[in-house]
Each structure stands twice: as C-alpha cells, then as structure tokens.
Structure 1
Amino acid sequence: MGILEDKDRARLFYKYLSKVYDRVNPFFWTEEMRAEALELLDIQQGDRVLDVGCGTGFGTEGLLQYTDDVHGLDQSRHQMEKAFEKFGKHDRVAFYRGDAERLPFADDSFEYVWSSGSIEYWPNPVATLRDFRRVVEPGGQVLVVGPNHPTNPIKARIADAIMLFYDEDEADRMFREAGFTGIEHHVMGPPRNPDVAITTVATVPK
C-alpha cells in the first residue's frame, strides 16, 4: 500500500496541494481528457450525478455541461473550499464532505457516479466500488479515472510506493469483484503522455 493510501496522510497532502492544484492538474488531467471521458456516458439534463472525490471541482465543471443535478463529495476541506469559490456552497452544486468508502446516500440515489483522480487514494478500492454500485440505480453507470500503471520497472516501483496505480487487467478484476457488468477501459492522456490515465466505465446490473 502506498503512503498516500492512508486517509490522514491524503488529507494532509491535499491541505498543501489545494493551494496549487488547479495549476498542476492540467499536466495530468486536461479539459480534452475530461471531454473525452464525458462522451463515454449518456448523461441527460435532469440526471442526478454524484462526483466522488470532486476536489476543486474540475470534473464537476464538466458534469454541469450535461445536467444541473450534480452532487460533489470530498474528504478534503481545503479542496472543497476551492470548489465553493467556483460554484458557491449551496448554489449550482450540492456539496458533501465525506468518505468515498461510506457514501452518505440511500440506495439507487443516482443515475451516474463519476470519480476522477480519487481511486488512487482509496485503501480498499473494491469495497468503495461496491458502495458506488449501491447508490447507482440499476442500469446506471459509474465512470472512474485513475493512474495507469507504468510499464517502466523503476517508475512502477516508485509509483507503487506512493499510491494505487493499476492496469486494465487489475481494473477489470476490481470492477468485476464489485459486481459491475459491461466494463470498458480507455487509456488516455495529454499528447506528451498519452497513456497516463485509465478510464473505466461500468454498468450496475438490472
């Protein structure tokens, strides 16, 4: 387990990263990548969507292009304060401070769950994905963006010491164990690093 797959360490990390997050983020997760990921879903106006690990609201901003019913959850107070500056506390987005492993929502509450840049910090990804499945209605979908595992052995050892990196096979295993069907993986990234991220879309069985 990487050093940032610990919730207390991750919160401390984002206390400082939040100050520069929106300037650093485009090196790894661009507007073009976000648009490509959003096109993998069929979100319609009025669909209820949860953004888990919403951070400063980069993914949230994209979701709002499709529906006005967007809900954002994050464990970092400092990241959420940046999101409040963009969207207001109670205006365009309903925000919640909470844990991705214990979502504070009833079963079948959403048509979609979106999560970008969060899975790498989860101590128990499969359990978290099961909770995603719980809060999405049957036939709904989840989309998770995480860091693709480096193929270079030295980079892989460094990556594994920091947080969760995984490849398509591991993503497939996690989503199947969590009970999803219709699982698709898409490797994406900016031109200088086109395979930096892995985006998985999966369906909640009816």
Structure 2
Amino acid sequence: MGVLEDKARARTFYKYLSRVYDTVNPLVWNEEMRDEALDRTGIEQGDRVLDVGCGTGFGTEGLLQHTDDVHGLDQSVHQLEKAWAKFGKTDQVKFYRGDAERLPFADNSFDHYWSSGSIEYWPSPVDAIEEARRVTKPGGTVLIVGPDEPSNSLFHKIADAIMLFYDADEADRMFSEAGFPEREHVVMQANPGSPRAIVTIATVPEE
C-alpha cells in the first residue's frame, strides 16, 4: 500500500494541495480530457450523478454541463471548501463529506457515477468500486479516472510507494471483482511526457 493510500495521510496531503490544486491539476488532467471522458458516459439533462472524490470541483464543473442534478462527495474538508465556494453557495451542487468505500446513499440512488483523481488514494479500491455499483442504477455508467502505471521500472517502484498506479489489466481485474462484466479502458495524456490517466467506463449490469 502506498503512503497516501492511508486516509489520514491523504487528508493531510490534500490540506496543503488544495491551495494549489486548480493550478497543478490541468498539467495531468485537463478540460479536453475531462470532456472527452464525459462524452463517453451518456449523461443527459436531469440525470442524477454522483461525483466521488470531487475535490475542488473540476470534474463537477464538467458534469454540470450535462445535468443540473450533481452531488459531490469528498473526504477532505479543505477540498470541499474550495468546491463549495464555486458551486455550493448557489445550490448548484449538493456536497457531502464521506468515504468512497462506505457511501452514505441507498442502493440505486444515482443514474451515473463519476470519480476522477481519487481511486489512487483508496486503500480498498475493489470495495469502493463495489460501492459505485451499489449506488448506481442498473444500466447506468460508472466512470473512474486514475493514474496509468508508469512504464519505467524505477518510476513504477517510486509511484507504487506513494499511491495506487495501475494498468488496463489491473483495472480489468478490479472491475471484474466488483461485479462489472462490461467495461472499457482508455488511456489519455495531457501532453507528451506528462503522466498518463487511465479512464475506465463500466455499465452496471441489469438485475
């Protein structure tokens, strides 16, 4: 388990990262990548969508271009404060402080589930993906964005010591264990040489 796959350490990390997150994030995950991923979800106006690990609201902002029923959840109060300043005061988004592995929602509560830049901090990613399936209606999509595994062996060792990095095979294993028979993986990159993101889009099986 990487250093930041501990919830307390991750909260401390984001206490400081939240100050510069909106400046740093586009170097790895920019609007063009986000919008391309969103186009794969099939989200339509009126759909109820959960944004897990919403952070300062970068993904939330994109979701609001597709539907006006967006709910953001994060474990970091510092990240949520930033997101609230953008969207909460106007009631555009309902925010919750919570854990991806124990979502405070009933079964089949949402039409779609979105999470970008959060899975790398989950101590038990399969448990969290199972939670995504639980709260999303049958036929809905679950889209999760995480850091693609570095190809360089030294970088790979360093990366894994910090947080979760994974490739398409590992994503396939995790989503299969979590009960998703249908899934696809797309690797995206902001610029040549920049860290790659792996986007997994899965469909909740019909009951």
Taking structure 2 as the reference length, what is the TM-score of the superposition?
A: 0.97
Deviations 1:32-52 (A, max 9, x none): 100110011111100000000
Give the aligned partner of residue 45 of structure 1. 45
Question: Are 1:185 and 2:185 an aligned pair?
Answer: yes
Deviations 1:110-135 (A, max 9, x none): 01000000000000000110011000
Structure 1 counterpart of 2:113, one-letter code: V
Deviations 1:68-115 (A, max 9, x none): 000000000000100011112461001000001000000000010000
Contact kept? 2:88, 2:94, Cα under 8 Å: no
Deviations 1:7-40 (A, max 9, x none): 0000000000001100110111100100110011
Contact kept? 1:188, 1:194, Cα under 8 Å: no
CA distance in 1: counterparts of 2:56 and 2:2, whole angstroms: 23
Contact kept? 1:48, 1:111, Cα under 8 Å: yes
CA distance in 2: counterparts of 1:97 and 1:90, whole angstroms: 18
Give the aligned partner of residue 83 of structure 2. 83
Structure 1 counterpart of 2:15, one-letter code: K
Q: 1:48-63 residue pairs with structure 2 within 5 A?
A: 48-63=48-63
CA distance in 2: counterparts of 1:193 and 1:167, whole angstroms: 17
How many residue pairs match? The answer is: 206
CA distance in 1: counterparts of 2:187 and 2:157, whole angstroms: 20
Give the aligned partner of residue 70 of structure 2. 70
Query: CA-atom RMSD, angstroms?
Result: 1.0
Give the aligned partner of residue 131 of structure 1. 131
CA distance in 2: counterparts of 1:88 and 1:103, whole angstroms: 20
Report deviation, 1:182.
1.5
Percentage identity across paired residues of the two chains: 70
Contact kept? 2:52, 2:73, Cα under 8 Å: yes
- Greater than 2 Å deviation, 4+ residue runs: 191-195
Q: 1:144-163 residue pairs with structure 2 within 5 A?
A: 144-163=144-163
Report deviation, 1:191.
2.3
Structure 2 counterpart of 1:13, one-letter code: F
Structure 2 counterpart of 1:5, one-letter code: E
Give the aligned partner of residue 121 of structure 2. 121
Q: Which moved more, 1:80-89 or 1:174-183?
A: 80-89
CA distance in 2: counterparts of 1:201 and 1:108, whole angstroms: 18
Question: Are 1:101 and 2:107 an aligned pair?
Answer: no
SS of 2:85's equivalent?
helix
Taking structure 1 as the reference length, what is the TM-score of the superposition?
A: 0.98
CA distance in 2: counterparts of 1:93 and 1:116, whole angstroms: 17
